[in-house]
């Protein structure tokens, strides 16, 4: 599928993190994926979790600011969750954040939906076409996870988002680029995408910190989903729009994905 794909050498890895750089037609160039591969032998068809970063971030964010791989491995060792591969891609590195949408001649949406899982499956034998795929993210990544998970519900087993932007106008709270730069993408919202694809939705959960400046938007999304009679789990916890919150509550996403996978 890819003209070129580079996979890091395991002899130099740290904490079981590997990196893929792949030339993507959707990005009109190269994209990066940070991977956590649990150090287990003879595992096959294990779930793939895709974690999307927020604005200003890149493929290293969830690992080197959030320690997602460390939390995941501790949970696996305790048998709290089953083995999972975690893929942490860049968003395409447009501006302060691409919002995981198509614009400027690049399809940052299909980079996540098509290219990332395909690149992982090409390079990681433990992940196959039979593996369940889950999607999660924080802030802009929460927006991406909820919107892409709903739009491509047949691709994902479940969605779990943290501190999410719920509509494109909220991107202006973070990015330098005016929303007009996103073209028609500037009008996208989570609730409209979910309602449009209501017949094929995967399991949905999301959470937000009670001190987060996006809390009102997340509460509103919860109300809109109830009004639309869309089953979902919504939770609030103490905390703000900050890494200590996401470091703790990524564990809730992993537990949720594990329960969804067991209930197939």
* pLDDT the model gives residue 244: 98
| C-beta neighbour count of 180 within 10 angstroms | 7
pTM of the model: 0.97
Give 12-71 as a DSSP string.
Answer: G-BTTEEEEEEEETTTTEEEEEEEE--S-SS--S--EEEEE--TT--TTHHHHTT-HHHH
CATH of the domain at 95: 3.40.50.1820
* pLDDT the model gives residue 167: 96
Q: How far apart are CA 32 and CA 70, in angstroms?
A: 20
pLDDT in tens, the chain (264 residues): 899 999 999 999 899 999 999 999 999 999 999 999 999 878 899 999 999 999 999 999 999 999 999 999 999 999 999 999 999 999 999 999 999 999 999 999 999 999 999 999 999 999 999 999 999 999 999 999 999 999 999 999 999 999 999 999 999 999 999 999 998 777 799 999 999 999 999 999 999 999 999 999 999 999 999 999 999 999 999 999 999 999 999 999 999 999 997 766
Nearest by Cα to 100 from 143, 151, 160: 143
Q: What are the pLDDT digits (tens) for 3-51?
A: 999 999 999 989 999 999 999 999 999 999 999 999 987 889 999 999 9
Q: What phi and psi, each to the nearest 5 degrees, are found at residue 156? A: -120, 140
Q: How far apart are CA 47 and CA 221, in angstroms?
A: 28
Tokens standing for 244? Answer: 């200590």
Residue 30: strand pairing partners: 23
Domain with 34 in it: 5-262
β 48-52/85-89 pair status: parallel
Contact (CB, 8 A) for 33 and 2:
no
Tokens standing for 54? Answer: 């927020």
Contact (CB, 8 A) for 220 and 180:
no
Q: What total of structural domains would you count in the chain?
A: 1
């Amino acid at each position: 599928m890819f003209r070129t794909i580079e996979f890091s050498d395991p002899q130099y890895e740290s904490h079981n993190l590997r990196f893929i750089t792949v030339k993507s037609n959707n990005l009109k160039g190269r994209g990066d994926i940070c991977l956590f591969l649990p150090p287990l032998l003879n595992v096959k068809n294990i779930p793939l979790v895709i974690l999307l970063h927020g604005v200003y971030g890149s493929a290293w964010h969830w690992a080197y600011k959030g320690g997602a791989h460390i939390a995941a491995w501790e949970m696996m060792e305790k048998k709290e969750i089953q083995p999972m591969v975690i893929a942490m891609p860049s968003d395409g590195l447009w501006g302060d954040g691409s919002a995981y949408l198509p614009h400027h001649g690049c399809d940052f949406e299909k980079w996540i939906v098509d290219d990332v899982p395909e690149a992982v499956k090409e390079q990681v034998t433990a992940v196959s076409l039979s593996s369940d795929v889950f999607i999660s993210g924080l802030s802009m990544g929460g927006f991406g996870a909820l919107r892409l998970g709903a739009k491509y519900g047949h691709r994902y087993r479940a969605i779990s988002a943290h501190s999410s932007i719920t509509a494109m106008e909220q991107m202006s709270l973070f990015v330098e680029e005016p929303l007009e730069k996103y073209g028609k993408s500037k009008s996208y919202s989570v609730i409209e995408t979910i309602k449009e694809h209501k017949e094929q939705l995967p399991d949905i959960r999301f959470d937000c910190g009670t001190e987060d400046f996006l809390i009102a938007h997340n509460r509103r999304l919860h109300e809109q989903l109830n009004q639309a009679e869309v089953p979902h789990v919504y939770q609030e916890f103490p905390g703000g729009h900050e890494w200590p919150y996401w470091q703790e509550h990524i564990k809730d996403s992993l537990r949720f994905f594990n329960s969804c996978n067991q209930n197939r």
